Amino acid sequence: MIDEAFVTAHQGNIAIARQKAINIFYSMAWGIGQPQSIGLTDRFLFQGYDVVFNHVNFTVDIAPNSWNTGSNTNEWAINIRNYWNSPTKRCISKDIMVLFTGQSLGIDGFHSDCNTGVSICQPGVLGSSHVVVVRNQENYVNTAKTLAHEILHAFGLGHLNEILTDPQTGQSYYATVCHTQCALGNNNDPPALMCVHGGDIKFTSCDINCIDRFFTNNKCICLNQQFGSFPDDFICPPPDNVYINIVGDRPNPVIGCRIGEDEITFG
């Protein structure tokens, strides 16, 4: 989804703005324009996880700038989630709700779980409350890196070089031992994706540990649901009209979340 400010940032032309959003998405997923043409799909595949990123509905509706109340990002995320949970969009299954904005955030993007406190595909949690907002940057490649960074927060990954404080001693320390891979100019190697200020689309050993932990928590049933795509102008039918979409590509999935078993979908 794009907002009014994103359209304004692209000559006020909705068609140009929508194409830019699509370019960002595919750069994130498939590495178009990225170093070595490696995207988030490739990085998961290298670890044995066949995670496919699909946009199931790129709504024609333009998000009003007023959804950003200016008070806090969580309220903005809740307004986005409420749109996707409205009667006209509720029937569209999705894991993460993404908004591309032209508004100034002071940051490049953010992720919110709308106060649920859980990663995607949490057992017992119906639907999705995960929202990602990314700011329009100088080029689509950098914006795609931000999108990939925020998406991984939905998988439960944190910042590699987050500085924490021991409540007992008051001493500060880094969240992970991989913080050294966030130093600028570190052997001419760009920072890793999950550094506080982002980086190239690549995983550290700390990221891989978190990803392995995510998948060993039996997310297969959730991620193996392959949601069909919906036309951009799709509106959910009234509740008394029930339409069932059955996808039988993998009728007998092997529990294990390894190659060929995982799908991530976007609204």
Predicted confidence (pLDDT) at residue 83 exceeds the cutoff of 70: yes
In a domain, 21, yes or no: yes
Q: How far apart are CA 217 and CA 139, in angstroms?
A: 36
**Token pair of 29, please?**
């997923």
In a domain, 162, yes or no: no
pLDDT given for residue 17 in this prediction: 97
Alpha carbon distances (Å) from 53 to 39, 79, 132, 164: 11, 24, 14, 32
Predicted confidence (pLDDT) at residue 196 exceeds the cutoff of 70: yes
pLDDT single digits (tens) 9-47: 999 999 999 999 999 999 999 999 999 999 999 999 999
Question: Percent of the chain having pLDDT more than 90?
Answer: 59
Q: How confident is the model at residue 256 (pLDDT cuts 50, 70, 90)?
A: very low
Q: How far apart are CA 267 and CA 1, in angstroms?
A: 8
Q: Between 83 and 241, where is the model more confident?
A: 83
pLDDT given for residue 93 in this prediction: 78
Q: Given the structure tokens 């969009």, which residue do they identify?
A: 89
In a domain, 38, yes or no: yes
In a domain, 130, yes or no: yes
**Token pair of 217, please?**
């928590």
- 44-52 average pLDDT score: 88
pLDDT given for residue 72 in this prediction: 85
In a domain, 238, yes or no: yes
Predicted confidence (pLDDT) at residue 84 exceeds the cutoff of 50: yes
Q: How far apart are CA 92 and CA 59, in angstroms?
A: 11
pLDDT single digits (tens) 213-237: 888 765 655 555 555 688 999 999 8
Return the H-helix or E-strand segment holding 213.
helix 205-216
Per-position b or e across 166-179, b if 16+ CB within 10 A of its CB: eeeeeeeeeebebb
In a domain, 172, yes or no: no
Q: How far apart are CA 107 and CA 76, in angstroms?
A: 14
State phi, psi for 197 to the nearest 5 degrees.
-95, 15
Predicted confidence (pLDDT) at residue 267 exceeds the cutoff of 70: no
Q: How far apart are CA 41 and CA 34, in angstroms?
A: 12
| One-letter amino acid of 131 | V
Average pLDDT over all residues of the chain = 84
Q: How far apart are CA 82 and CA 164, in angstroms?
A: 33
HSE, CB side, 13 Å, CA atoms: give it for residue 265. 20
pLDDT given for residue 183 in this prediction: 83
Is the Cβ–Cβ distance between 103 and 3 less than 8 Å?
Answer: yes
Is the Cβ–Cβ distance between 130 and 164 less than 8 Å?
Answer: no
- 79-95 average pLDDT score: 89
**Tally of domains in the chain:** 1
Predicted confidence (pLDDT) at residue 262 exceeds the cutoff of 80: no
Q: How far apart are CA 229 and CA 32, in angstroms?
A: 22
pLDDT given for residue 246 in this prediction: 42
pLDDT given for residue 222 in this prediction: 58
Q: How far apart are CA 47 and CA 116, in angstroms?
A: 28
Q: Between 51 and 165, where is the model more confident?
A: 165
pLDDT single digits (tens) 93-130: 788 999 999 998 889 999 998 777 777 776 555 456 78
State phi, psi for 82 to the nearest 5 degrees.
-65, -35
**C-alpha closest to that of 102 among 12, 15, 200:** 12
Domain of 134, in residue numbers: 4-140+216-266
Q: Given the structure tokens 């799909």, which residue do they identify?
A: 41
What is the CA 221 to chain-centroid distance, rounded? 19
Predicted confidence (pLDDT) at residue 254 exceeds the cutoff of 60: no
In a domain, 256, yes or no: yes
pLDDT given for residue 249 in this prediction: 43
Provide the strand spans (E) within 38-112: 51-55, 96-101, 109-112
In a domain, 252, yes or no: yes
